[in-house]
A and B are shown apart, each in its own frame.
Chain A
Amino acid sequence: MSRSADESVLSPAASASLSAAAPPPATVASSSTVDIGPVMMRLRSARVVVPILSLIGIPVIWAIVAATNMLGTAVVSPAATVRELHSHWSVLWLNAQPTLIATLIGAAVLLAITAVGALIVALVPRITPGLAALSVVIGTLPLIILTPILSLFVPRGRPLVATVCVLAGLVPVAAMLSGMAGVGERGRDELGALYGTSRLRWWRYVGFWQTVPVLDIGIRAMIPYCFVGSIVAEWSGASTSFGLGEVMTNSLFSYEPTLLWATIVLAAAGSLSLLAVATLIMSPLRRRVR
């Protein structure tokens, strides 16, 4: 009883009457649609209020701790830190650049690993448990011990910092790929099997889009993590002369707490800026699957 493609099962009149029976969007919107407005408002306000409170609260607590000397004189006030940041800006910015460049190189390598890994995981899901195990193994290795070992094989300076940065970012990447594999397969045993869809086709039309929330969180976590990885690598001797980690080490050992705090503030600002960039890059995809 196969019907031809252009065969109509309803007369135009019947179709029209059924369409007419359907409630118009404008009238139904208030009664039939799920009203998620108040919930979304609460979530949005929580998303805005928490960072604002943190931005206000942390400097206030920091100022109180510095003013009361409860943790000793090594805690410099926020005002003194900002002054130091301003007066040493050219030196700090000069040192921030190699850290940022190494981070961007590391992040680019990790994004390429994510793209290739996501496709491999989608086509060969059997390797997913291995990825989860890999993320645990890499995660248990203290990052700081990697630098001296890697310095035996990778030249110090940008290549070594970027390598440690990639290794630091592998933990969220492996965890992200593992999560993506599980989410991307959702529904494949039903809809995919019903229509005899290949793994690649499923990934293209459904799987990839289902994994966007995981990808979004993973990339937003990975990029600031890479920045921290670069700083730790420099701190532990991977850089040759420049880098925020290098400045932190020098200011610590020459007892310049104000410069150390200024570097920490710059590193935090850099990390937050990278998070903002990652959020901005991911926002079109995030909006599409919302």
Chain B
Amino acid sequence: MNTDMGLRVDRVSYEYSSGRAARVPAVDDVDFAVGHGELGVLVGPSGCGKSTLLRIAAGLIAPTKGRITFGDTTPDELRKRRRVGFAFQDPSLLSWRSVRRNVELPFDLAKLPTDSAWIDELLAIVGLSDWADRKPRELSGGMRQRVSLARALATKPDLLLLDEPFGALDEITRGELNLELLRVLSATKTTCLLVTHSVDEAALLGDKVVVLSKRPCAVKLTYDIKIDRAERGESRDTVELLEHCRAIRSALAS
């Protein structure tokens, strides 16, 4: 399996069918690519079909038209090989499991032997080593999201999908976690596709920002941002980043 070419979304459309009702288009002819190890951001209005696109990329649903490839493989094949990580908007941590056991959950669900050394390392990466034996109820919202992120990375996925993981957090925690995500992705060299409706977050995190229209979502603009990840923390209030935000906002408004 060669995944060096990254993620390619090739003219993908998707229609929901709900019983006898007419089919409802959710995604319309979406076409973009995210390079290997890059972070692609899908930004668009609420309910436009971003999450549907993410579920297609995860191989959880099949597109009505078009195809998605990751290197020389399909998302479905990638998912069957347990090479996809997914962090949902709601961290959905299991209250009866400790932080460590929550991060280990994919191994239990996928019937894989637990890689304890990697779990230790992941907990260190997300800064939760000291909290490994605590229960989710003892954690703050930001910490729960970090656990969710670690859980998504537990099986060392080649493709990481994040569905508005920081959407419910306050501005300060969100800012911290944005930088933490960049650090984690740099450390793991994982290709990532993130859904958000925050323009600032999209510009700060994305190597490639895909601006989507209202439902059914179509690509309005594909925007490359060439700022080194290491410098992104400091670039938050720079004119360059503000320019990127302006370009994305005007594409969204058009």
Contacts and interface: CB of A to CB of B under 8 A. Distances in A.
A32 B121 contact: no
How big is chain A's contact interface, by range? Answer: 35 or more
Contacts of A209: 94, 96
B144 to A, nearest CB: 10
Given A3-B156, A9-B187, A194-B86, A25 B137 contact: no
Interface of A: 1-3, 5-6, 8-10, 14-16, 18-19, 21-25, 28, 32-34, 36, 187, 189-197, 201-202, 205-206, 209-210, 212, 288-290
A198 to B, nearest CB: 9
Contacts of A14: 187
A202 B3 CA distance: 30
Contacts of A22: 127-130
A188 to B, nearest CB: 10
Contact of B105 (A18, A24, A36, A205): A205
18 contacts: A5-B118, A9-B125, A21-B127, A22-B130, A33-B138, A34-B139, A189-B60, A190-B88, A194-B60, A194-B86, A195-B110, A196-B80, A201-B108, A205-B108, A206-B94, A206-B109, A209-B94, A209-B96
Contacts of A5: 115, 117-118
B117 A2 contact: no
A195 B82 contact: yes
B92 A191 contact: yes
A193 B56 CA distance: 12
Contact of A24 (B96, B130, B155, B188): B130
Interface in B148-203: 155-156, 158, 183, 187-189
Contacts of B64: none
B164 to A, nearest CB: 14
A1 B3 contact: yes
Contact of A8 (B82, B121, B139): B121
A196 B3 contact: no
Given A194-B60, A195-B106, A1 B158 contact: yes
A23 B140 CA distance: 12
B124 A15 contact: yes
Given A2-B1, A290-B137, A205 B187 contact: no
Contact of B140 (A16, A33, A197): A33
Nearest to A25: B130
Contact of B142 (A32, A192, A205, A290): A32
A2 to B, nearest CB: 7
Contacts of A16: 124
B47 to A, nearest CB: 18
A32 B108 CA distance: 30
A21 B155 CA distance: 25
B58 A194 contact: yes
A236 to B, nearest CB: 43
Given A5-B115, A33-B140, A190-B86, 8 more contacts: A2-B156, A6-B117, A18-B124, A18-B127, A24-B130, A189-B60, A194-B86, A195-B155
A2 B108 contact: no
Contact of A25 (B82, B134, B141): B134
Nearest to A289: B96
A196 B143 CA distance: 27
B249 interface: no
Interface string B93-133: 01110000000011011110001011001001101111100
B224 to A, nearest CB: 22
A196 B112 CA distance: 12
Nearest to A212: B96
A33 B130 CA distance: 14
